[in-house]
Amino acid sequence: MKCYESSRITRRDFLRNAAFASTAVVCHNQIARSASGTRRKPNILFLMADQFRGDCVGCGGNPVIKTPNLDSIAADGVVFSKAYTSTPSCTPARSGILTGLSPWHHGMIGYGRVAGYYPFELPQALRDAGYYTFGIGKMHWYPQKKLRGYHGTLVDESGRVETKGFISDYRLWFKQQAPELNPDATGIGWNDYQSKTYVLPERLHPTRWTADRAVEFIETYERKEPFMLKVSFARPHSPYDPPKRFMDMYNEENMPEPVVGDWAARYAGHDEPPKSNLWHGDLGVGQAKKSRRGYYGSVSFIDEQIGRVLTTLKKRGWYENTLIIFFADHGDMLGDHHLWRKTYAYEGSARIPMLLRWPESMGMSHQRGKTLTQPVELRDVLPTFLDAAGATIPDHLDGKSMLELVRGNTKNWRPFIDLEHSMCYSKDHWNAITDGKFKYIYFAYDGREQLFDLTKDPDELRDLVAHPAHKNTLLQWRQRMVEHLSERGEEFVSGGKLALRKKRMLYSPNYPTTTS
C-alpha cells in the first residue's frame, strides 16, 4: 500500500480525514443556504462510468448483458445510439465533459493531465446557475482534489497518487473500515486484461462505496437549491473484479466472441507470456470470453448500484423533477480486432452509451423510449445541463444541447463528429470522423486510411479503402477531414492534402497554461 507509506500524515490527521470521508455527504447540509434558492429548476443526476462500451446496455440491443436499471432510464427517456467520445482515453475525455469543447479547442488530443484551469467549466457554470454541485467517485483531473466549482467532492482515484501524500476519500474510508485488509488484494492491475472475482467483502468494493455515498447524499439533502450530483464509477475499467454474485450471473460460453476485421492481423502478435497490461495481441477466443465475463459482471454491478440511487431519488419524491444522464468517458476493446484497452477510433473504444431522461415538466412525452441516431459527443453534456437549468449557453462552446434533439430540432445538428488520439501505445496517432453511418480514419504517422460502412458493417470487419466501388465515398470523407483539420495549419493540412506527422503532439496550442 505505497500510497500510505509515502504519506507523512499523522495517525490523528488520518483518522480525522477518514471520518470526513464517511460524513462529508451529511456535513454539506450545514453550509449556509441560499436565501433565493428554489426547486423550480430540475435537479441534475449526472451518472457516468469509466471504460464502458456503447454496446454493453440491454437497451442498445445487447441480448446477453443485464442492465435493467439503465434500461429503465432509456425507457423513460431516449437512447443516443451514435454517441462517441472524441478522444477515447480518460483524461482528454473528461476535459471534453468539463469544458464543452472539442479536443483541439480544450487542448488535449491525447492522454495527459487535465489542464489546471479553464475559464468556463461545468461545475462552476452550474453553480453560477443556482445549483448546489457535488461530485462522488472518479474525477481524474489534476490536482486530484481540486473542486473546480463543486461545493464538495468525495473521490475514488483507483489507487492513483499524483501528488505527495495524496490519499483518496475511498481509500481513507477503506482504511477506517478494514485497517487490516489491502484494497488491492484481488491482485489485478489497473490495465489488466484478466478478470477475477473480488476477494474482499462486497461492501468494500469501490463500486458499492460510490453508490453508498450517492444514496447518502440524496437521503440527507435538505438545501433549497436544486442539486447537480455527479456519480462517477471507476469501473468497469479494469480491474474486471465484480463480486461473486455478479461473476456468477454470466458464463463464458454465452459471452460474445471478439470481432476481428480483415485488416487486423497487424495487431495479433504479443509477447510470451503476455504482459498483463498489453494493448494488442490475439490471446484466443477463450481468454477474450473470460475477460468479458468479468467485464459484464462489473457492468451489472454498476447497474444495480445505479438502481439504488434511482430508488432513493424516487423515495424523496424528486424523480419526476430530475434530469438524468448516463454515459461513459470511453469504451474498451476487450480483444476486438486483437486490441485491448482504449485510445482507438474503433467502435469498441470510441462509441459510448448515452442515455438521457428529462423531467415531466419539460413535456415531450411522445419522445420517451425512442432511439435517436444523430451523432452526439461528450462536449454536448455541458450545454445540455445549461439548457435544462435555463441558463445561457455560451457561443464559444463546441457542444450542443441534446435536449434540442429530444425537442425534434434536428435540422441544424452537426453532420458528423470528429475523433482523434495522439500517440499512446504506438506511433499510430490518428484522426477520424463519423456520422454514425460511415467512419473515416487517417493515421498521420504513415498516411494509412480506413473506411467503414457502419450501417452494413457495424463491427468494422471490412476496410473499404481499397474497394473501387467506394472510391468516391473515400474521396468525399477524406475531403471532409481536410476541411476539419484546416484550422490547425500546415502541420496537419499542407497543399490541400492531409500531412504526415512523425512527431507526437499531446497538447494543442489551445491547452491552457494558467492554473487559476
Give which of 389, 310, 334, 318 is closest to 74, Cα–Cα: 310
Q: Taking the C-alpha atoms of 247, 195, 270 and 345 in order, what is their torsion angle to the nearest 10 degrees?
A: 70
Query: Cell numbers at residue 358, please?
Result: 428529462
Return the amino acid letter for 3. C
Task: Write down the pLDDT at residue 321.
Answer: 97
CA distance 330 to 412: 26
Give which of 206, 208, 289 is closest to 254, Cα–Cα: 289
Going residue by residue through the chain, which has 516 residues, state the pLDDT in tens, using 9 for 90 and above. 333 233 333 333 433 444 444 445 444 444 333 334 444 799 999 999 999 999 999 999 999 999 999 999 999 999 999 999 999 999 999 999 999 999 999 999 999 999 999 999 999 999 999 999 999 999 998 888 899 999 999 999 988 888 888 999 999 999 999 999 999 999 999 999 999 999 999 999 999 999 999 999 999 999 999 999 999 999 999 999 999 999 999 999 999 999 999 999 999 999 999 999 999 999 999 999 999 999 999 999 999 999 999 999 999 999 999 999 999 999 999 999 999 999 999 999 999 999 999 999 999 999 999 999 999 999 999 999 999 999 999 999 999 999 999 999 999 999 999 999 999 999 999 999 999 999 999 999 999 999 999 999 999 999 999 999 999 999 999 999 999 999 999 999 999 999 999 999 999 999 998 776
Domain boundaries, the chain: 2-10+42-415
Q: The cell 446477453 sits on which residue?
A: 64
Cβ–Cβ < 8 Å for 59, 72 = no
Cβ–Cβ < 8 Å for 330, 352 = yes
| β-bridge pairing 376-377 and 370-372 | unpaired
Task: Write down the pLDDT at residue 420.
Answer: 98
Cβ–Cβ < 8 Å for 272, 459 = no
CA distance 342 to 54: 13
Q: Which of 56, 90, 151, 424 is catalytic?
A: 90
Measured in residues, the chain has a length of 516
Q: Which of 105, 106, 140, 330 is catalytic?
A: 140
Query: Cell numbers at residue 356, please?
Result: 438521457
Q: Which CATH superfamily is domain 2-10+42-415 in?
A: Alkaline Phosphatase, subunit A (3.40.720.10)
Query: Cell numbers at residue 454, please?
Result: 457502419
Return the amino acid letter for 291. S
Task: Write down the pLDDT at residue 35.
Answer: 34
CA distance 199 to 178: 13
Known catalytic membership, residue 90: yes
How many Cβ atoms from other residues are within 10 Å of residue 481's Cβ? 21
CA distance 217 to 198: 26
CA distance 403 to 380: 10
End-to-end CA distance of the chain: 33
Angle at 90 between CA 89 and CA 91, to 5 degrees: 110
Q: What are phi and psi of 236, to 5 degrees?
A: -85, 10
Angle at 259 between CA 197 and CA 475, to 5 degrees: 135
Global pTM reads: 0.92
Task: Write down the pLDDT at residue 513.
Answer: 86
Give which of 209, 191, 416 is closest to 305, Cα–Cα: 209
Q: What are phi and psi of 78, to 5 degrees?
A: -135, 155
Known catalytic membership, residue 56: no
CA distance 181 to 299: 25
Task: Write down the pLDDT at residue 39.
Answer: 46
